[in-house]
Amino acid sequence: MKQVIFKVISNEKIAKDVFKMVMEGDTTSIACGQFVNIQIEGLYLRRPISVCEVVGDKLTIIYKVVGKGTEVMSNMTEGVELDVLTGLGNGYDLSSSGDKPLLIGGGVGVPPMYQLAKDLVAQGKKVSVILGFNKAEEIFYTDEFKALGAEVFVATVDGSVGTKGFVTDVMKTLTDYTYIYTCGPEPMLKAVYNTSTTSGQFSFEERMGCGFGACMGCSCKTKYGNKRICKEGPVLTKEEIIW
| pTM of the entire predicted model | 0.93
Q: What architecture (CATH level 2) is domain 94-240?
A: 3-Layer(aba) Sandwich (3.40)
* 89 phi, psi to nearest 5 deg: 85, 170
Give the Cα separation of 243 and 222 in Å (integer). Answer: 9
**CATH numeric code, 2-88:** 2.40.30.10
Strands 128-133 and 151-156: parallel
* pLDDT above 70 (res 11): yes
Give the Cα separation of 79 and 8 in Å (integer). Answer: 5
Share of the chain above pLDDT 70, in %: 91
pLDDT tens-digit profile of 144-198? 999 999 999 999 999 999 999 999 999 999 989 999 999 999 999 999 999 999 9
